[in-house]
Amino acid sequence: MIETVKNKIGFGAAPLGNMFRDIAEQEALATVEAAWTEGIRYFDAAPFYGAGLAEERLGEVLSQKNRDDFILSTKVGRLVEEEHEEKSGLFEFGHQKKVTTDFSADATKRSIEDSLRRLKTDRLDFVFIHDTSRDFYGDEWVSLFDQARRGAFKVLSQLKEEGVIKGWGLGVNSTEPIELALDMEESTPNISLAATQYTLLKHERALQRMLPRSEAQGGKIVVGGPFNSGALLGGDHFDYAEIPQEIKERVTTLNEIAGRHDVSLKAAALQFSTAHPAVAAVIPGSSRPERIREDLDSINAEIPAAFWQELREQKLVSAEVPLPA
């Protein structure tokens, strides 16, 4: 079903959880409504996004639509508790609720039930196991991955076998956990979400390892964070942290080349990420209604072959990447 996503573009709901800024409720709801109006029919969320806030906002709008008309995915691995907790970091403006990490079977079942309630729906299409990776948990990620293997993997595999969900996998900001899961003989995922890993700014490891392995097994990858937290579009963050100088310089070079060919970097980024045959969809996040039409125009924009050729000549993209036709 994921292959039916129009133009391979969906909606990433992380910004709806007040990521980086406090977003007015009506602005958030209007953004989801704009996505629907413009024809987007794949929506991805997670309990972690604003401690349930993103799911609640998404559910508020999507509960008014025909459930058979859209694809919905969320994540497990974190439980939102009612206990108050002061927030900082990515979602300091989200709900001030405690979020606990738990990849066990019981927690996975509870997480799905909680998400269904917040999303105001009776079913999910895809479920991703969230952030079992080094960037969040350091060396502890290996033991958490093992907990997920013994818990969440088995629960989600069973739900898929029973037809309750259409697919499951990892939802991470790295490629290593996805590669590890694809190498397992039991409970193998059929779709995973890799954020910030197959983009104009960073794609070598994904191209050499994750994408070929997924493709060989008939699996699919959803690309999240195609702009690397806004760095590619002139933002102050790269992969959810402060942008390093070397990335700023790379973006400057990309902008210079794009300018020579009259190409939008947003268009190049979206079309680059969706050109690989293993990629099912790209899900740029947005919290402003006007950005939705901009994203759709970008993914359909004409980009001259000379632009891609210059990127290859400058070694800004790998010689092996599948480029947009």
Q: Domains plus CATH for the chain?
A: 2-313 (3.20.20.100)
125, 73 in Cβ contact below 8 A?
yes
Owner of token pair 């058979």: 68
Of 123, 128, 116, the C-alpha closest to 153 is: 128
49 is catalytic: yes
| pTM for the full predicted model | 0.96
Q: What is the largest CA-CA distance in the chain?
A: 56
Buried b (16+ CB within 10 A) or exposed e, 123-150: ebbbbbbbbbbbebeeeebeebbebbbe
Give the DSSP H/E element, type plus range, for residue 309.
Answer: helix 305-313
Catalytic hit among 49, 137, 198, 240: 49
Local confidence pLDDT in tens for the 325 residues of the chain: 677 788 899 999 999 999 989 999 999 999 999 999 999 999 999 999 999 999 999 999 999 999 999 999 999 999 999 999 999 888 999 999 999 999 999 999 999 999 999 999 999 999 999 999 999 999 999 999 999 999 999 999 999 999 999 999 999 999 999 999 999 877 889 999 999 999 999 999 999 999 999 999 999 999 999 999 899 999 888 998 899 999 999 999 999 999 999 999 999 999 999 999 999 999 998 889 999 999 999 999 999 999 999 999 999 999 999 999 7
pLDDT at 1: 66
Owner of token pair 């409720």: 25
257, 312 in Cβ contact below 8 A?
no
Residue 72 to residue 144: CA distance in whole angstroms: 25
Q: Which two tokens stand for residue 231?
A: 């760095």
182, 188 in Cβ contact below 8 A?
yes
- Strand, coil or helix: 315: coil
In DSSP terms, 283 is beta-bridged to 224
